[in-house]
Every structure is written in C-alpha cells, then in structure tokens.
A and B are shown apart, each in its own frame.
Chain A
Amino acid sequence: MSTATTTDSKDLAPVSAESLAALLVSGERPPRPSALSASLTFGWRAVLKIKHVPEQLFDVTAFPIMMVLMYTYLFGGALAGSPKEYIQFLLPGILVMSVVMITMYTGVSVNTDIEKGVFDRFRSLPIWRPSTMVGYLLGDALRYTIASLVMLTVGMIIGYRPDGGVGGVLAGVALLVAFSFAFSWVWTMFGLLLRSEKSVMGVSMMVLFPLTFLSNIFVDPKTMPGWLQAFVNNSPITHLSSAVRELMAGDWPADEIAWSLGWAGLFVLVFGPITMRLYNRK
C-alpha cells in the first residue's frame, strides 16, 4: 500500500451529492487547449512552485553572486592588472557560465517530479505532449532571467560598465536565455533517463565543468596549446560568451550570434525528440 494511513477526516465537511450531480451534468468538455496555451499553463505551474518554495531561488541568487565576486577578485589582479579592469571582460562570460550551469537543475526537477502521481495525470490528458516539458523550461527561463539580473546588478556595483547600454545588455541576456532554454533539453533527457537525482547531478557536473571552463570565459584562448584551442574555439559556450560579450559592448557579432543560435537549434532538434520519446515510454 503506497498511501499513508490517516485518521483525520472527522472535521471534513460532507460531500454535497446534489451540487456534485449538477456539476457533472453541466460539465461539458471544452475544446482542447492549443500547444502554446498548454505550455504556458505548465509554465504557470513552475512559477507557482517558485511562489510556494522560494528557497529554490537560492541557486539563481546566491550562487551567481558568489561566482561574480569570487572570480573577479581571485583572477582580476593576475589576469588584467586589477579586478575593475577584469570585470569588463569577465562579467558577460561569468554570466554565461553561471546560467548555463543553472540549467542542470532542470534535469533534477524533472527527475524528482516524474515519479510523482501527478505526472500520470498529465500524461493521460489530451494535450500537446511536449507541453509538460516546455512548461518546465519556461519556468526555468524565468529563473535564468532572474540570475542574469542579479549578476548584472552585482557587476555594476563593483564596476562593470557595459558600452552597449541597456539595449546591448538586454540583447545579450535574451540570447543567453534563449540558448539556455534550448540547452536545457539535454537535461530533460537526463532527468528522464537516469534513476536518481544524484546521478543527474553527477552527469551534469561531468558535462558542465569542462564545457564551461574550456572556453574563452576566463582568458583569451590564444595562450592555450593548439589542440586545446581547437576545442575551445569551436565550443558552443565560446561562441555564446563571445556573442554576449560583444552585444553588451555595443557591437553586433552576427557570426557569433548565428553560431549560438545554430547550436541552440541543434540541441532542441536532437534532445527534444529523445526527451519526448523517453517521456512517452516512461
């Protein structure tokens, strides 16, 4: 028996059979919701969860603040002469790194949620199948945006001055959130594929640490050995952080934007269908 025995229904109001009957008679099935409407409804669910468990915003507030402060003051003097100079270069990159790292929580929440009874109900509804997953990602996109704003604020306080102004900064954040939305499909796949939350975390770290560090986030790749440059210069994270950095500096790096969006499209095309296949088979 999977349900805990409870003995506390003594004060429960009685069920009203007449009003129930009236409700059942009047309950016609409305037309099915559109794919967009179903996805947005699941997005709303994600927002409600944040509202009820605000502690889960810890990873999009405290963690990013720590990242900005730590790397700015740790490397600033050695790499750029002073933390103040370094942050001009670092902030867009560390923004990319933190937000891309936060994407792994998508996998964790999918993994812990999927075992719950409510998923059986979602899966038995006549709705666009991917909307459950898209809902998660929409909720997470909100989290990525919050993390970006927190980091930008901290950066501004300790001396970051983007030449691109508000427009450039917003464009950079928009590109980053869009990329992360697409990249998260990797984690929805792992969230459905792996058995426990711990293994999802483990695999995420194995992928994310090398992927984010082996990039141009901290230093110019020109100082790296040739074989490493070959990897770093072609990494999606390098393209993304170059694009964000230049957008925030007021330029329009068409190539890097195209590369970033191309990678984003590839992630959705590959991992989206795998996720949905696993979801349908679960």
Chain B
Amino acid sequence: MSQHTSALAIETAGLVKTFGETRAVDGVDLAVPAGTVYGVLGPNGAGKTTTVKMLATLLRPDGGEAHVFGHDVVREADEVRGRVSLTGQYASVDEDLTGTENLVLLGRLLGHGKQAARRRSEQLLAAFGLTEAAGKQVKHYSGGMRRRIDIAASILSTPDLLFLDEPTTGLDPRSRNQVWDIVRAVVAQGTTVLLTTQYLDEADQLASRIAVIDHGKVIAEGTKGELKASVGAGSVHLRLRDPEQRPEAERVLRLALDADVQLEPDPVALTARLASASSDSAAEQASRALAELARTGVTVDNFSLGQPSLDEVFLALTGHGTQTSEEVAA
C-alpha cells in the first residue's frame, strides 16, 4: 500500500479493536490530510482513545488496516514511532520527576546529546511559561501545568503527526484557551494534529475536518460547515418582558423562521431551533425574527444565538444523546 504518500497523514480502513465482547472500535475509516487539525469527536467510551492508541502503535488492531504517512502501524511500527508523538488523556510524563528531568529524559531518548537535551528542555520550559516550576516534581503541578509539560514533551523533536487525546478534559476555561493557542502554534509549523475531544466547540475552534464517532463507528465526517448543516444552524433563545406576549411571540417565530419553537419552563423564555435548510445564515435568520417581533409589538428583553451542542449533534445523528454511550475503559 505504498501509494499513500504525501497527501494523507493517516489512512485507516475498517479498523477494528475488540476487548472481550465489546467492539471498542468497529470498522473505522479515516482519511486525515497532512498539515491540518483533524478532530475526532465523540462521548466517553466512543472508541476515540482506542483508535489513537492503535494509530500510535500502542495497541494492535484486531482487524482492518491503518497507515501513518504510508507506513503500516503493525508491520512498520518503528517508522511510525519515528514520526509521531502522543499526548494522552492523563499526563504522559513521569510524575516523580521534575519538569526539567522529564524533558531531558525524553530528549535523550529521542537521540539528543546531553547538552542539546538540556538546552532544548530549558527553551521549551521557557516558551511554555514553566521556568519557575522546572525544578518541581510533576506530581505537584496543576492540571494546566501538566498539560503544558505533556505537550512540551511531545514536541521535543518536532513530530510530523501529533496525537492529542482530549487535551483539555478537566481544565478550566482559561487553561483550555492556552492549550488551544499551543495547538494552533504547533499546526502553524506544519505538524498534523489528530485531536480527540468531547466538546464540539473545541473541534470547532481547532479542527478543519471532523469525524463524529460513536460506539466505535464513524457516524458522520466532513468539514465543520457540513457537520453543522446536518444538525441545524443553531438556536435562538429569547426572553420577553411580558409573559403574556409569549403565545404571540411563538406564533411569529414559527411563521418567520419556519422553525420548531420550544417553550421553556421560565414563563418569559422560548427557544427557536433554526432550520439548516435555509439559505440564510443563523445570524440573518435571527435578525429577521427580531425585526418581525418588533413589528408585531413584542418586547424582547434578551436574546442569544446558540451553537448546536454536541448533544444536539448526537441527537441528530444517532437519535440518542451523548449520555447513552456505554463506558468502555480503554
């Protein structure tokens, strides 16, 4: 299969991994273009981590094929290892060692000389804002610091392909934004990133293409725009001044937007789910609705435009929410 060369960083066909009775990965086909961020979106236990582990040569597939830069992950595991780096869900560094020791250790294992490994780890620690924590054991690091040292360890030698397995799960919003900035900087230098995440907005922020995976299967794949179009453009949330105007507002919205309107428990609130079939953007549809409401004399106190959530994506694609996927420890 040597014809897959420059264009694709990852190509899998019918990839399968079973744990006992569970088919954790059940025939996954992926084609990841080189030089991009590719998002793999799915709930806990969907098979994301298992897929990444097979691609990073940590797990042997039970069926199907996977190539990384044209190299078979089983037969040419060593070539694959030479071009990829992995950042796991948990920090993939030694918690007993300090930040510096971890980076020097990995630098040496990647073939850097003593001096070079030390110099590079100092530079990386500085770039990641970890100079002060360099001499502390990683077990005393905060969640945000761990992710940073973990990503730093992954780019000691600039990899051609970086696996980021749920890099922001459990982080506060600020650390999360910082991790996103790091990912953007890495991709800007030409590294391909395979990002797994449970959050649609994370995939939205970073990825150019997204595969949605559930129960070990890819249930949707495409650009962000394609994916969102398949679940609707989002929703408009309204709060009225006067609860008595709600039936009128509901009627107007239904007519103006041709959308499902839902009455919220709060007597002044209602939500309209925007139709994806419309040729207008979500913002255009929303402003049309507001204008229509103003014309009919309904007073709107508060208004917001919501993105489709992962739950909505799942609901639209599978007919069940994210909560119903069983846990598969892998």
| A44 and B105 contacting across the interface, CB-CB below 8 Å | yes
B246 interfacial by beta-carbon distance below 8 Å: no
| A127 and B158 contacting across the interface, CB-CB below 8 Å | no
- Of B2-10, B88-96, B227-235, B301-309, the one with at least 4 CB within 8 A of chain A: B88-96
| B91 and A117 contacting across the interface, CB-CB below 8 Å | yes
| B144 and A121 contacting across the interface, CB-CB below 8 Å | no
A281 interfacial by beta-carbon distance below 8 Å: yes
B24 interfacial by beta-carbon distance below 8 Å: no
B300 to A: closest C-beta gap in Å: 35
Which among A13, A31, A48, A52 is the interface contact of B132 at CB below 8 angstroms? A13
| A33 and B108 contacting across the interface, CB-CB below 8 Å | yes
Q: Which of A8-55 contact B (CB under 8 A)?
A: 8-10, 12-17, 19-21, 23-25, 27-33, 37-38, 41-42, 44-45, 48-49, 52-53
Which among A25, A27, A29, A124 is the interface contact of B111 at CB below 8 angstroms? A29
Q: Which of B166-184 contact A (CB under 8 A)?
A: 169-172, 174-175, 178, 181-182
User: In whole angstroms, how far apart are the Cα atoms of A17 and B186 in the complex?
Assistant: 9
A123 interfacial by beta-carbon distance below 8 Å: yes
| A116 and B105 contacting across the interface, CB-CB below 8 Å | no
Contact bitstring A62-75, B, C-beta under 8 A = 1, else 0: 00000000000000
User: In whole angstroms, how far apart are the Cα atoms of A9 and B129 in the complex?
Assistant: 11
| A24 and B186 contacting across the interface, CB-CB below 8 Å | yes
Secondary structure call for the A interface: loop
Which among A3, A17, A37, A38 is the interface contact of B181 at CB below 8 angstroms? A17
| B158 and A37 contacting across the interface, CB-CB below 8 Å | no
B156 interfacial by beta-carbon distance below 8 Å: yes
| A37 and B94 contacting across the interface, CB-CB below 8 Å | no
Number of B residues with CB within 8 Å of any CB on chain A: 67
With A27-B155, A30-B112, A124-B86 known to touch, is A6 a contact of B148 (CB < 8 Å)?
A: no
B207 to A: closest C-beta gap in Å: 19
Which among B44, B58, B127 is the interface contact of A19 at CB below 8 angstroms? B127
B106 interfacial by beta-carbon distance below 8 Å: yes
Kindly list chain A residues whose C-beta atoms are within 8 Å of the C-beta of B89: 2-3, 117
B190 to A: closest C-beta gap in Å: 8
With A15-B127, A124-B57 known to touch, is A1 a contact of B96 (CB < 8 Å)?
A: no
B294 interfacial by beta-carbon distance below 8 Å: no
| A52 and B123 contacting across the interface, CB-CB below 8 Å | no
| B116 and A30 contacting across the interface, CB-CB below 8 Å | yes
A4 interfacial by beta-carbon distance below 8 Å: yes
A7 interfacial by beta-carbon distance below 8 Å: yes
Closest B-chain residue to A5, C-beta based? Answer: B170
User: In whole angstroms, how far apart are the Cα atoms of A10 and B175 in the complex?
Assistant: 9
A206 interfacial by beta-carbon distance below 8 Å: no
User: In whole angstroms, how far apart are the Cα atoms of A104 and B85 in the complex?
Assistant: 33
* Chain B interface residues toward A at CB < 8 A: 44, 53, 56-58, 60, 78, 81-82, 84-86, 88-97, 101, 105-106, 108-113, 116, 120, 123-124, 126-132, 137, 142-145, 148, 153, 155-158, 169-172, 174-175, 178, 181-182, 185-186, 188-189, 191
Known: A19-B126, A118-B94. 9 other contacts (CB 8 A): A3-B89, A9-B143, A12-B129, A16-B129, A21-B185, A23-B123, A33-B110, A38-B109, A44-B108
- List the 5 closest pairs (A to B, CB-CB), nearest first: A13-B129, A6-B143, A9-B144, A27-B158, A3-B170
Q: List 9 A-B contacts (CB under 8 A).
A: A12-B178, A13-B131, A15-B127, A24-B155, A44-B108, A49-B96, A122-B109, A124-B56, A124-B57
